[in-house]
Structures are given as C-alpha cells and as structure tokens.
C-alpha cells in the first residue's frame, strides 16, 4: 500500500492568514493526489484533484501543487468557513489511501 | 445535482454482517464512467477506503478487508451496497459512500453525509 504522510496534524491560524499543508507519498504517485475538506457531520468535500486542478465551485483561494511524492495545499487567505479538517488522498493505485488529516483551528 | 445517501442499521452485533445501502439521485449508476465507493472513518482516526465497484461489476477492495467485504450494485433501484461480514468492535466507524472517477482523475467528487455504525452486543 502507498503510505500518505500529512503534516502538520493540527494548525492554528487567523482569518486572512496564508496556510500550507503538506502531503508526502511513500512512492511516486505522479499527479494522482487529491485534497478534501471535512467538516463534522458532513461528507468530505473535494477541493483539488490531480494535484493542482481546482474542483468546480471551489473558491480560488485554494490551490494545490506538487508531483511525484511531495504535494502541498495552500489557502491564500483564510475565511471563517475554512476552519475544518483537510485530508490528502492518492488515487494512483488501489487500495486508495488517505493522509491522517490536518485540523485547522482558529487562533 | 448528484446526491448520495447512506442507510442501514446503526447497531450491529459482533460476528454478524453489516449491511449498508447508498441511494444515488441525480445521475444513473448505469450511465457509466464512474466508480461507486465505500469509505469509513474509525473513531479518532483518518479515512480508510474500503472498496469500489463500477457499473460493469468490476470491483476492488482494500486487502485488509477483502475476505469479509462485498460491494454490489442494484441498477433498477439506482443503489449500491456494502456487506461486511464477521464484524467486531474494530469495525465501529462512520461509513461514507462516494462517487469517483469521471473527469476528476479517480478522485471522489460526491460524498454522502455518512452513517454511524456501532458494533456491540
């Protein structure tokens, strides 16, 4: 299985801050890396697919980059609705695997 | 608008079979081009992909659960289902169904809200 290592596990930030979350795969997954936002009581929401492609309807303050084994999710200017947990996931090969998540909290 | 909704018992006894259904609305499963997946979140842990199925019937499962899990499709009802046999307390989790593939490079672009399943006698 491909292991996904995500960091940090938690992050405190303020509205308007720029934040970056990283995800590392245990082997190359080319660009098959996806980012999700997860809020309590809801299903995860796809933000970024194929490492850098913004899912339809997702605000442009979200962006993704990387290829191979190292990837980042950046939120350029945090909004109140962005405080949530973020997961990366590889869809390069099954079994699909997720990072452990980054909980983004209000400072 | 595509929507998915999980349903099934919230409580299952140890050694029994967990059965969940995902009802799909807004798109026909038989239209093809997507896979239909189950994912779970164990308490205090991250997300675990369980498996998926295509309309063709082609299915794949995570190795750790492969001996106990079956995902199937009911196209007339536009539903897909999860069966997990011989459950233990370790299978207590929030279970999600999701749609994947299509134009999003095998990502999962539509999710249900999740259903909590507790395994306990």
* CB nearest B106 (choices: A32, A42, A45): A32
Rounded to an integer, the average pLDDT of B56-60 is: 92
Best to test chain B binding among A44, A92, A95 (most B CBs inside 10 Å) = A95
Res B117 pLDDT > 90: yes
Cross-chain residue pair A100–B104, CB shorter than 8 Å = no
Model confidence pLDDT, tens digit, residues A40-76 = 999 999 999 999 999 999 999 999 999 999 999 999 9
Q: Under DSSP, is residue A3 helix (H, G, I), strand (E, B) or coil?
A: coil
Share of chain A above pLDDT 70, in %: 100
User: Residue B89 and residue B95: Cα distance in Å, rounded?
Assistant: 14
The pLDDT value recorded for residue B79 is 97
Calculate mean pLDDT across residues A16-24: 97
Mean pLDDT across B88-104: 94
- The residue of chain B nearest to residue A90, with distances taken between CA atoms, is B107
Minimal CA separation from B36 to chain A, in Å: 13
Confidence of residue B102 (pLDDT cuts 50, 70, 90): confident
pLDDT band at A104 (very low <50, low <70, confident <90, very high): very high
| A9-18 per-position pLDDT tens digit | 999 999 999 9
Q: Please give the full DSSP string across A10-47, using - where no structure is assigned.
A: EEEE-TT--EEEEEEESS--TT-EEEEEE-TTS--EEE
3-state secondary structure of A94: coil
Q: Is A81 helix (H, G, I), strand (E, B) or coil?
A: helix
Nearest Cα of chain B lies from the Cα of A50 at a distance, in angstroms, of 6
Q: pLDDT digit string (tens) for B23-46?
A: 999 999 998 889 999 999 999 888
Rounded-to-integer distance, Cα A71 and Cα A63, Å: 11
Cα of B105 to nearest chain A Cα, Å = 6
Q: Of the candidates B60, B105, B114, which has its C-beta nearest A43's C-beta?
A: B114
Instruction: Quote the tokens at residue A61.
Output: 């303050």
Collapse the DSSP code of B75 into the 3-class scheme (helix H, G, I; strand E, B; otherwise coil) and give the result. coil
CB contact under 8 A, B96 and A44: yes
Consecutive H or E run containing A6 = strand A4-7
């Amino acid at each position: 299985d491909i292991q996904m290592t995500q960091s940090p596990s938690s992050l405190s930030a303020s509205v308007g801050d720029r934040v970056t979350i990283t995800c590392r795969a245990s082997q190359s997954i080319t660009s098959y890396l996806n980012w999700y936002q997860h809020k309590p009581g809801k299903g995860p929401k796809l933000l970024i697919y194929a490492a850098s492609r913004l899912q339809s309807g997702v605000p442009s303050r979200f962006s993704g980059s990387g290829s191979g084994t190292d990837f980042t999710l950046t939120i350029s200017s945090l909004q109140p609705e962005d405080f949530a947990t973020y997961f990366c996931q590889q869809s390069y090969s099954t079994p699909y695997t997720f990072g452990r998540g980054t909980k983004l909290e209000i400072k | 608008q595509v929507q998915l909704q999980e349903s099934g018992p919230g409580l299952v006894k140890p050694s029994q079979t967990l059965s969940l259904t995902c009802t799909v609305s807004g798109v026909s499963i038989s239209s093809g081009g997507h896979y239909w997946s189950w994912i779970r979140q164990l308490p205090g842990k991250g997300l675990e992909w369980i498996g998926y199925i295509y309309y063709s019937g082609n299915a794949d499962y995570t190795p750790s659960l492969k001996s106990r899990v079956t995902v199937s499709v009911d196209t007339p009802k536009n539903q897909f289902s999860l069966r997990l046999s011989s459950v233990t307390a370790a299978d207590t989790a929030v279970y999600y169904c999701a749609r994947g593939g299509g134009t999003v490079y095998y990502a999962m672009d539509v999710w249900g809200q999740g259903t909590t399943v507790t395994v306990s006698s």
